[in-house]
Structure 1
């Protein structure tokens, strides 16, 4: 009994006798109001606990020897697919001429409707008109290693490859038996007024480099990368490199919530359109690429991608002056087309998802909401009760 009495003296939550309690209408209203306030405030605390934010960290990119994926979708309304080639080169000496793997050409009519779609092919299907024992002439050039028959130029494309290796202009294939049999010249004329959309992806070394879309087959001549422009420049149709970049991305896209927080596109060139009526016109985009990773909250997955900033220049190869910065003078000459020159930043951005509030913080907030609301409600109820009682005494007098 002695120990029990000592514990009773320590009781901070003294009880009242049921008969001594007074229930009032105002107390009931305050109670209902308090419950509603507690309910909405607890929901707010729960929403804060569930809310996820993204914290960005800038670190040195230590990755070496990696490859980078480029997603490309560009429309050229006034250059036929037959005249376009896609090349990739970098400072390591890697050269991908007339890229074929993973890239698709869409032939477009003058209204932009797709006529035909086909993957870029360095060597098309073996022509059916050839005799199995046929050995085509290479017209003074050396047969390419990719020819279906060693030492022979079996197709028109074999002859083009052989000429490119020599650094010779090829033209429309007039006088070349293989091209005349395949109707190469007629195919160029048939597509002369068409447009083209190039769509696909490339894999490149993660080093400084460039890729470009230009007319004619490319080849190296005295350590220079050049294109056979004869068919493009001598065409009766006025071709030009008006274009729309529908999409240009390096790696997979970032999550939508991260892009929303940053209020800008991951790919600043998406939807970019350029217009010209000059056949000899060059567009150059300088890209600064930053490696970017996105780490999900529960560690279930990590997205490794890239973001980039861009500076664009354009110039006429006839006038020799930059159209964006008139004071900058360029040397005359060059290749018409669209060029993308990219540089790799030594830094990397890491985006991590984190909760704004821990579970312990959530429980603390709930306790504070309940305790604070009940304390304020008790004070309010006491004030209403005392006010009503004093008003009753005044009326009794």
Structure 2
């Protein structure tokens, strides 16, 4: 009995397919996939028809048509007809203050993936560095709440305050590379604790991998199939934004300079008008 229990524990875990419970044959699985794709297409068509009812239907229809055309180009190049929304990646992790990179690659422990039909089209909706991000709802410590409302909302980077962009793969074996240059910014208010933020510049590039058996060149050995790569470099420099209160004397001197400029301009305008009127009178008198 003990031997049988050990044998049962030694068996590898069985893969579970919760979405499909039919016969494990190629014909039945193919029929199930085609039926699922038809359902996805019908739901997408229903949503598209419903979008015409709102007041921005025409604008939404044009944007949807442009996006559908781009996705159709990508799907055609990858040999498919329908592409779903794919995966949603959300989370955070720690990085060192040295140049580095992180990757998004397709892997599966229970499936064989064909890199020739993998579509790495993706949308970046939010990307930020640091604990606090301006322009985005997040938890703010109690000692920073009074200062947080005065922090400029455009700090934090391109995708930190709600902007988003889609990057399309228009051919198979496409690798997307995003380069980020990060600069530390410190906001020092008149009253309260200083807030440290991180801002970055964003540049993108994409290229196609050489096939493993290409006759015209060597295969790419520095990457492992289609992927998305984010390379970042933290600058050693730091930018300090500091609120400064002007003394009363500086404000008085500024107002005097402003009034003096207005008085001078008014005097020049009066002189010009008087000279013009005198010239006209002399001409009429003659």
Please report the TM-score for the alignment, with normalisation by the length of structure 1.
0.36
Q: Say which one has the larger Rg.
A: 1
Instruction: Decide which structure has greater helix share.
Output: 2
